[in-house]
Amino acid sequence: MAEFVTVLVDGIFYSAWLFVAAVGLTLIYGVMKIVNLTHGSFYALGAYAGASFTGAWIAHGYPPMLSYAVLLAAAIIITLVFAPLIERGILRFMYAKEEVVILLITYSLFLILEDVIKLIWGVDPYFVSEPYGLLGSFDVGEMTYPTYNLILVGIAIVSGSGLTLLLQGTRIGKLLRTVIHDPEVSRAMGINVDRFYLVTFTFGSMLAAIGGAFTAPTVSVVPGLGVEIIVLSFAVVVIGGLGSLPGAALGAVIVGLVRSATIHYVPALELFVIYFVMAMVLAFRPRGLFSLAEPRKI
């Protein structure tokens, strides 16, 4: 029983981290129909900005408890610098092109941003471990967990429920759903689709950057950080259904719990299990668990 609880807790923490990292990817695809590989770059940019801003904050002797706000601010600032530039400067000229062309463009941008990161921060690792230990730890059975992990769970809940409320319960959400359904008709009805694209891309990228910033205290922030996360994020959103918010949540929970159970009971299968789940889902539901029937446009 104790081990089962540990599996559950580990799975929840991993799911929360995955969801925060992946939700922006599904949001951008849902609205803009872009498979956005720069998502990994924004995760890495968030991690670098979080580590360097918070490192400087703590080095200057400012209150450590505010370092969480600094992590958040760093992610927001770095996204506001890069995301509008990319969307307005490059992507908006590409929307008329096929999805695969945009995929290649975002891949090119991903590679460019990897080098931009090295130009700005170099190749030395950045550590900002203080926020990780600041809140102490708590015990679940015989296991000790850093309280910091609960912050990631909180961010996952707030971002998931906040996005759902925004989409389902506000006027902006209704307009956004209209854009998702048919951008051309939305444009004809006077909706500023370009602005929605800009805001969606920026907000989706910001979620990735927040994921990166709040991961920074738990890892060594080094070049290449964005590569792994993009692969995992795709597994999560493909399982749930590209563009589906509840799908991303379910995909993250499935991956998190299955991975955790595998590590505890059959560690040799850890590498294989995430992609096995993805393959099984795609075999029976090729568009993911939460895909909806799409109206055919004539």
Partner 1 sequence: MHSLKKLSTAVAAALALAPVTVLAQDAAPVKIGVVAFLSGAAASPFGVPARNAAELVIELMNAGKAPAPYNTKGFGGSKIETVIIDESGGTTTQVTEFRNLVQRHNVDMVIGYISSGSCVGIAPVAEELKKLTNFFDCGTPRIFEDASYKYVFRTSPHSTMDNVGAAMYLKDVKPNMKAIAGINQNYAWGQDSWGDFEASMKHLFPKIAVKTSQMPKLFAGQYNAEISTVMGAKADVVHSSFWDGDLEALVLQAAPRGLFKKSTGVLTAGETIMAKLAKQIPDGTILGARGPFGPYAPDNAYSRWLKKEFQERYQVLPTYPSYQMAQAIMGVKLAWEKAQAANGGKRPSNEQVAAALEHSTFEGPGGTVKMALGKGHQAIMETAYGMSKVVGGKVTVTKVKRYPAEVVNPPEGVKAADWIAGGFKH
Minimum CB–partner distance for residue 129 and partner 1 (Å): 5
Burial zone of 132 (CB within 10 Å; 0-12 exposed, 13-18 middle, 19+ buried): middle
Which x/- pattern, by CB under 8 A, does the window 12-51 give for partner 1?
-xx--x----------------------------------
- Let me know: does 247 contact 164? Beta carbons within 8 Å: no
Indicate the residue among 111 and 189 with the shorter CB distance to partner 1. Answer: 111
Q: Which one of residues 90, 107, 129, 150 is an interface residue with partner 1 (CB under 8 A)?
A: 129
- Residue 171 corresponds to which tokens in the numbers above? 């006027």
Binding to partner 1 by residue 259, rule CB under 8 A? yes
Reference 40, options 234, 242, 230; nearest CA is 230
**For residue 125, is it left (φ>0), alpha (ψ between -120 and 50) or beta?**
beta
- Let me know: does 136 contact 147? Beta carbons within 8 Å: yes
Spatial distance between the Cα atoms of 83 and 194, rounded to a whole number of angstroms: 14
Spatial distance between the Cα atoms of 161 and 170, rounded to a whole number of angstroms: 13
Give the CA distances from residue 224 to residues 102, 140, 172, 285, in Å, rounded to whole numbers and listed in that order: 22, 34, 36, 32
**Which listed range, 91-99, 171-179, 211-219, 234-242, lies at the site for partner 1 (CB under 8 A)?**
211-219
Q: Which one of residues 33, 88, 92, 264 is an interface residue with partner 1 (CB under 8 A)?
A: 264
Q: Which one of residues 271, 279, 280, 292 is an interface residue with partner 1 (CB under 8 A)?
A: 271
**Which listed range, 102-110, 122-130, 164-172, 237-245, lies at the site for partner 1 (CB under 8 A)?**
122-130
Q: Which one of residues 56, 81, 111, 137 is an interface residue with partner 1 (CB under 8 A)?
A: 137
**Which listed range, 92-100, 161-169, 175-183, 263-271, lies at the site for partner 1 (CB under 8 A)?**
263-271
Tell me phi and psi for residue 216, to 5 degrees: -50, -40
- Let me know: does 141 contact 2? Beta carbons within 8 Å: yes
Binding to partner 1 by residue 108, rule CB under 8 A? no
Looking from the CA of 264 toward its CB, the CA atoms found within 13 Å total 17
Binding to partner 1 by residue 132, rule CB under 8 A? yes
Q: Which one of residues 154, 162, 169, 224 is an interface residue with partner 1 (CB under 8 A)?
A: 224
Indicate the residue among 147 and 192 with the shorter CB distance to partner 1. Answer: 147
Binding site for partner 1 (CB under 8 A): 2-3, 6-7, 9-11, 13-14, 17, 114, 118, 123-125, 127, 129, 132-133, 137, 142-146, 148-149, 215, 217-220, 222-225, 227-228, 259-260, 263-264, 267-268, 270-271
